Chains A and B, each alone.
Chain A
Amino acid sequence: MGFDRTRTDFWIRIASAILAVVGIGITTYLVYERFSGGLPTCVIGGGCSTVQKSEWSTVAGVPVALLGLIAYIVLLVCALTPWQISVLGAFFVSLLGVLLSSWLTALELFQIHAICEWCVSSAVVVLVSFGLSIARLVLFQRETAQGPPATP
């Protein structure tokens, strides 16, 4: 899958992959609860079920958690591949994630009046992923500008 330890973005891609796996875990749990008819368990308070049952938890009938799961799978694929399209894809998807998470967190605070810890955790994961995607983009641009590394 093109993991080259000598490349400058090696650790960024490793961290991105780990975060994507964490995000997949969170969203898989939420999707499972959604389709099994259950409600997610909150460690603090009972906001998770309120948010999950809210009319804001779907987009055109598609659960937001399912969209999140798809996004994290794409982020994982982008982290595991070295191509330019992966760099751009990670940047695009994580930016989408940050913008949508901001919107959904605002809804939780000001419209639903309940906080879902799983959703907040996912928001933090995607925010850090976005930061890493910017770092990877910058490194990729720098490497491209410098040309391929000279062979010894």
Chain B
Amino acid sequence: MSRNMIIAIVAAAVIVVGVVIGIQVNNNSSSGQSLPLSHFTADVPAVNALLKGIPQSGQVLGKPAAKITIDEYIDYKCPICGQASKTIMPQVITRYVRTGLAKIEIRPLAFIGPDSQTGALGGLAAGQQNRMWYYTELDLRNQGSEKDKWLTPAVAAEIAQAAGCDMAAWNDAFKGQEAVNSFFTIQNQAQTDAVSGTPTFVVHGPKGTDSFSGLVPISRFSQAFLTVAGVKA
């Protein structure tokens, strides 16, 4: 076994590893990623693919002129909200929001624990940069246990960073009065809408309002659209 043979083996290994690294870097740099990476990075490409190109303004996702408005009450620690985010909401966003038929206003509540409020303030602070939906989707897809106090200000900051927020502005907004005021406004809206759990969806249209809660099938949204706007969707 010659020295040259060993050198050839080492060279071959280096080449193979170089090719593997090249493939990985090439694939991941061409995936259209537009959010910075952090702990919540794993879902960034999926969230980008879901939301990219849809207008965001504050708490609202979708075109302002959309005929139907869905108010979605959530708790950032609510596991059913997390499941909805992974199952129903991508369908709702793709079928109804992206097409301009509906817009969704996210309304974070604090049902589960004091850190739910931390999460809500973080989301509302991201909303001031029109990135609340990135924040919301990244949080809901990466929740810790409902029983643990995992949603600390540091974690909220990580989510905001993954959501592409300007962190200096987000930090100011997170501690600012505007987010607190929005948070209490939402708690009052929830009382008015008789929200007793999350997620709750209140659907408004020209013909009225319909509301439902829990992990519902997509057909429940179609039914509501027919009721509130006479739209078969």
Interface residues of A (CB under 8 A from B): 46, 49-51, 53-56, 59-60, 84, 87-88, 91-92, 95-96, 99-100, 103, 111-114, 137, 140-141, 144
Contacts and interface: CB of A to CB of B under 8 A. Distances in A.
Contacts of B21: 103
Contacts of B13: 92, 95-96, 99
For the residues of B in contact with A, the DSSP-based class is helix
Given A59-B20, A59-B24, A50 B42 contact: yes
Interface in B1-56: 1, 5-6, 9-10, 12-14, 16-17, 20-21, 23-24, 27-28, 31, 37-43, 45
B24 A92 contact: no
Task: Categorize the interface residue count of chain B.
Answer: 20 to 34
B144 interface: yes
B41 A54 contact: yes
Contact of A91 (B9, B14, B20): B9
B99 to A, nearest CB: 28
Contacts of A99: 13-14, 17
Contacts of B9: 88, 91-92, 95
Given A96-B17, A112-B37, 12 more contacts: A50-B39, A50-B142, A51-B42, A55-B45, A56-B28, A84-B1, A92-B12, A99-B13, A100-B20, A103-B17, A112-B42, A113-B37
A55 B39 CA distance: 13
Contacts of A113: 37-39, 41
Contact of B144 (A46, A54, A59, A87): A46
B23 A60 contact: yes
Contacts of B10: 95
Contacts of B45: 55
22 contacts: A49-B42, A50-B39, A50-B41, A53-B42, A54-B42, A55-B31, A55-B45, A60-B23, A84-B1, A88-B1, A88-B5, A88-B9, A91-B6, A92-B13, A95-B10, A96-B13, A111-B37, A113-B41, A137-B1, A137-B6, A140-B1, A144-B1
